[in-house]
Chain A
Amino acid sequence: MTRFSAWSVFRNGLKGQRDWDRQWRDPEPRHEYDIVIVGGGLHGLATAYYLAKNHGLKNIAVVEKGWLGGGNGGRNTTIVRSNYFMPGNRQFYEHSLELWEDLSHELNYNVMFSQRSHISLLHSPAAMDAAARRYNTMRLTGSDGEIWDLNTLKANVPHLNYSADARFPIIGAAVQKRAGTARHDAVAWGYARAADSLGVDILQNCEVTGTTREDGRITALETSRGTIRAKKVGFAVAGNTTRLWQMAGFSTLPIESHKLQAFVSEPLKPLLDQVVVFGVGGAHFYISQSDKGGMVFGGDIDWYKSYAQRGNLPIVQDVAECAVSILPCLGRVRLLRHWSGVMDMSMDGSPFICKTPLSNLYLNAGWNYGGFKASPASGWYFADLIANDRPHQHIEHFTLDRFDRGINIDERGAGPDPKLHG
């Protein structure tokens, strides 16, 4: 595999880009691996990479039923931030943001991470106070955060709807400047290429259809490409976690599958330099502009449980209403595409990276809306868990039994209703 460098990019530019190697191999499945990660999305690929890189492990495979990043890895609005508050979440997402900051160099692959600021609009003195508490906590724990008054906000993002007659007039904003966006496909490809170069077998079109269990262990996975024996197995298939969980012989999880839509408009000239979030009353809306010029945005989930990767029209209308109420200049912009992904919505809005009742099975699940930003740290800590067979202290509460023990990590304070954890 050729390493990317300024020179190799320049040389191939002169040769019509015909001189690049394959970026990763397409191997036949072996009969047995030391570790098999199910799910070739961002979390699974990152896990395989860090298993090989941080822990020096060999003989690892990632099995993916479709193509790399074809699930939620390619169905998100690409926002990266660490403005989390709850103990556990705070350290975890901050570590993830730190990994993002060096990811392109780490992977030798340009993930186009752009720290363009994440701006949460605020609409009441109470919201300003709550944001000050959250963002102070972030600063006290080594992150960055600012509260902007209205004049600072207007100077930075001039074309929002600042009308005093708006249903929810804007009075300020909470800002994390180190937050931003990244190119989601590149993250999947970058991790795949880096993991492959360390010897990880990436097996696409390889759907798990069943498991073989003996003495409290998983011994083999039945797949569409044959039986694969494994010494350790990690599940990282958010959206379809329960189905795989049931194939492993279990029944229930504190997870429901819901679908979340995302939208991209026709390309526009540079309009919005930051990620802007509008969330007040019944509104929930987040928007940024891609490097190609498309406005990338999204809103709430579809409000009922579903495994269908297609969205409903009432949410399209909700999101469009939010868009024009906060950025009226988008009123005549045409929608180019919209899509939907299936989310693991957990009972408290926080994830699971934990051991399971089967001694060699490990679970990575429950990412709600927030899986994209989490993927580097998710892989980092999941690899650590699998390699050392014990949770790192930063993920010690990302367990399935936290609900039994009354230590839910409910960042939003929404209670045990999965559809409310946006």
Chain B
Amino acid sequence: MIRINCPFCGERDHSEFSYGGDGSIVYPSLDAPAEEWSAAVFQRENIRGMQTESWQHVNGCRQWLLVERDTMTHEIQSVRAAHDGVGKVLEKGQ
């Protein structure tokens, strides 16, 4: 069991979360060429090692998180809110 330290709820089992996928993907603008969209939707670096990925805390706060996790050892380096605004609110403790 991977334990994910949710910045909103604290450390929980990964079975509370849903895996999103590669969190480093930046989608192109809507009028970008089809090749750019094809690359963003279908192409993956498939890193063996530390990668940034998205998880949603579906059975908790329901927030999307960005997790840096090693895909070989499953060690987690950092967890932060996926949405900047939510992250900033959290840092200010508001």
Contacts and interface: CB of A to CB of B under 8 A. Distances in A.
Contacts of B21: 256, 305, 417-419
Contact of A252 (B35, B44, B51): B44
B26 interface: no
Nearest to B15: A314
B45 A312 contact: no
A312 to B, nearest CB: 6
Interface string B14-47: 1100110110000000000011001101111110
A282 to B, nearest CB: 13
Contacts of A251: 45
B46 A242 contact: yes
B19 A303 contact: yes
A314 B43 contact: no
A73 to B, nearest CB: 20
Contacts of A257: 46, 48, 71
Given A308-B73, A312-B1, A313-B1, A403 B42 contact: yes
Nearest to B49: A307
A202 interface: no
Nearest to A309: B72
| Chain A, interface residues (CB within 8 Å), range | 20 to 34
Given A242-B46, A252-B45, A308 B15 contact: no
B33 to A, nearest CB: 11
A306 B74 contact: yes
Given A242-B45, A403-B38, A416-B42, A312 B19 contact: no
Interface in A288-339: 303-308, 312-314
Interface residues of B, number: 26
Given A252-B39, A313-B1, A417-B21, A305 B45 contact: no
B2 interface: yes
Contact of A254 (B13, B43, B74): B43
Interface string A407-422: 0000000001111000
A404 interface: yes
B14 A304 contact: yes
Contact of A253 (B1, B44, B53): B44
Given A305-B21, A307-B72, A312-B1, A254 B42 contact: yes
A252 B48 contact: no
Contacts of A304: 2, 14, 19, 53
Interface of B: 1-2, 13-15, 18-19, 21-22, 34-35, 38-39, 41-46, 48, 51, 53, 71-74
Given A242-B45, A304-B19, A312-B1, 9 more contacts: A255-B44, A257-B46, A304-B2, A304-B14, A306-B71, A312-B14, A347-B42, A403-B42, A417-B21
25 contacts: A242-B44, A243-B48, A251-B45, A252-B45, A253-B44, A255-B44, A255-B46, A257-B46, A303-B18, A304-B2, A304-B53, A305-B19, A305-B21, A305-B22, A305-B51, A305-B71, A306-B74, A312-B2, A312-B14, A347-B41, A403-B38, A403-B42, A404-B34, A404-B38, A416-B42
